[in-house]
Every structure is written in C-alpha cells, then in structure tokens.
Structure 1
C-alpha cells in the first residue's frame, strides 16, 4: 500500500511539473528575454536579467536579445540591454549586428546607442559593406549624416564593387532623399570618379537613369565621364 501511494504521489508530482514547464512563466529565462526584447518593456528586460537571463543569449539564428530588439526597433528594451552591457557588435548567422542593422534600417535611436557604446565602424555585413552603404541605398538621410559624422569610411567598396555613393545612385529612386544623400557623401569627400566593378561611374549611372539633380551635384564636384 505504501509503495502504491508513493507511486501515485510521484506521478502527480511529475504531471504538475510538466504543467508548470508548459506555461509561459515556466519557459526558459533566455527565451523569455528574447521575447521581451522583441515586444516587451525595459522593465520586463531588467526583471529577466535580474532573474539570471543571459544578456547575450542567442536564438537559433544567432541573434542576441539586443539584435532582436533592434529588428523590432524596440528602443526601451534596447536601451535596457545596452545598459546591461550587451555587445553592440555581436553578429548573427548572416553577419548582422545591432549596430549594422540599426544603420541599414534607419533605426536612429538605437544606432546612437550603439555608437556611444563601442560600435565597430569598420565592421561589415554579409555583402562586405559598412553600415553607411545600405543606409545610403535605402534613403535614410539622418542615418547617413550620423554615420558620416561618426567617421565611417565613405569610399568603402563592398563585395558588389559598390560604394555608398554608387548605391545611392544605382539603387536609389532619384528622389529628394537620395539626392540629399548624394550631396552629403560628396560633401564628405566621396570619390566621385570611383567606378563600379564594370568601370561605370556614379555620374554615368545617374545619366543613364535620368537623375538630373544627381548629375548636377556630381558634375559640380568635378566628376568625369
């Protein structure tokens, strides 16, 4: 009888333990921290860190909580993680880092945090480009201004053979934002005659696309061809 009662007790205890583990509150702390980084508050993040969640706990894609917060542009969560010592340069499986992703997506508040906490200005994404290149391509004017001021090399060439200036012309839409970015890059000393892998310059690309304002800026800067 005693053995039977003990067996029943153990069965009930295991069932209860399984039930608790299946609830969100019983989920691993690291997983809950990554969820808080995506959609939670700074207080949520801080509470989980106090409970022992790892600030650099990566998911199956190699993303840290800070990179996840950056993906969601969750500024309060990102700030809490940075203040807790999160690595702003930690890259995932496809070479994105909080710094690089914030720059590429124009998440300027998080970008400013990364720059203030040791962002590696020479780090590159999976295309071999700095944060400045996709920022220029996507028309993030303030981001481009911030990265230039931070000291990112304006003439860095990525694996496609393109600089920030070339991407702003080739992949931009020729509209006001990209025109302003071309002007910012020229003013920052970008080499206007640096050609792509096929030997085509930014000026030639601008002419082909009919981007008159870009043509004017490049010609005024002494571009040839």
Structure 2
C-alpha cells in the first residue's frame, strides 16, 4: 500500500490518496530513499497531493536518507505553495539540511525572492551559519550571478537584520565578496548597512 500511496502522491491523484488513507495506508511510510508520500509529492511539486497529505496530518519535517524534508526541499527549490503549507502546519524553522543550512540559505543562493521573503517573515534565523561557514547573505553573493533577484535578496536579508560583517570561515566578508565579483549594487547595499 505504501508504493500505491507514493505513486498517487507523485501523480497528484488526491482521490487515490484519500482512498488509500481511508483504507489504512501509513501516512509516514518510507520508500527506499527514506521519503514519505509528502516528500514524494514535494519533489514532484504536486501541490494538491501535498495539501491532501498535509491536511491528513503528514509530518512536514520528516527527513529522508539525505536529510531533506518537505519543508526544507520546498524552500530550497522555490516551491512557494508547498512551502506555505508547511509553514502553516508546523515547519521546524531550525531544521537543517545535509549541509547544516536552514531552508533560507539555499533559497537565497538560488534566487527564490518570494521564498526568502516568506522564510524571513516566518522567523528563520537570517544569520544561521552552515557547515561551509556561510550564511544566506554570503550564499546570495558567492554562489549567485549578481543579478536583480539576488540583489533583492541581499536587500531583504539586510532589512531583516542580517549581519553584513559576518565573515566566512576564512574571514572574508560579504562586502569583500561582492567587490571581488564586481557586484556593485550588492556592494553598495552592504556598505550602507555597515558592511
């Protein structure tokens, strides 16, 4: 029954999901990769399936074999609607991925402006440091292209109180990285913020 539930989740088949759950399918059963049906739906960006599973009580923080959860994965991939569902159903804002980062860090790196806004509003720690020694602010500069989405993210992070002087493990600050990469708009924002 687990395989059927996971297939239904991946296919966005809410009728099958409800039927299987009414027949006793285990909402938190795992596949070979440690994924629950909700994580399968999240990976496939199946909003209706994710909503049906969350409404049925699926754990939005259940991690798979590589430390992804529906909450963390939706944030990292920019799946805004699923992220909103996880945030209103108990997402653990301190939860971290395999790199020791919160959902905010990959969202900032990948340029998911709306996701960053949602996570800041939800109260995610804007200065959390991952295993690489990087914050969301650093990743929005180091791993980005300096374009408008990342400039907006830097602006949002600074407005939310991100420390512009918080350097990486080598002592390099966000402002130094922005200057090295020629990201003038970011450098200006960081200077104004005291970076």
TM-score by structure 2 length?
0.99
Partner residue in 2 for 1:184: 156
Task: Quote the Cα distance in structure 2 between the aligned partners of 1:64 and 1:41.
Answer: 16
Give unpaired runs (5+ residues) of structure 2.
none
Counterpart selection for 2:9 from 31, 37, 49: 37
Which structure is richer in relative contact order (CA contacts within 8 A, separation 6 or more)? 2
User: What are the Cα deviations for residues 154-201 of structure 1, in whole angstroms up to 9, with x where unaligned?
Assistant: 000000000000000000110000000000000000000000011000
Please state if 1:206 is matched with 2:173.
no
Partner residue in 2 for 1:89: 61
1:66-105 → structure 2 map (5 Å cutoff): 66-105=38-77
Please state if 1:131 is matched with 2:103.
yes
Give unpaired runs (5+ residues) of structure 1.
1-28
Q: Is the 8 A contact 2:12 2:47 kept in 1?
A: no
Q: CA RMSD in A?
A: 0.6
Partner residue in 2 for 1:216: 188
1:158-197 → structure 2 map (5 Å cutoff): 158-197=130-169
Larger fraction in helix: 1
Task: Quote the Cα distance in structure 1 between the aligned partners of 2:12 and 2:3.
Answer: 13
Task: Quote the Cα distance in structure 2 between the aligned partners of 1:43 and 1:166.
Answer: 44
User: What are the Cα deviations for residues 2-24 of structure 1, in whole angstroms up to 9, with x where unaligned?
Assistant: xxxxxxxxxxxxxxxxxxxxxxx
Higher-Rg member (1/2): 1
TM-score by structure 1 length?
0.86
Partner residue in 2 for 1:20: none
Task: Quote the Cα distance in structure 2 between the aligned partners of 1:89 and 1:40.
Answer: 20
Partner residue in 1 for 2:33: 61
Aligned length: 195
Post-superposition shift, 1:106?
Answer: 0.6
Post-superposition shift, 1:40?
Answer: 3.0
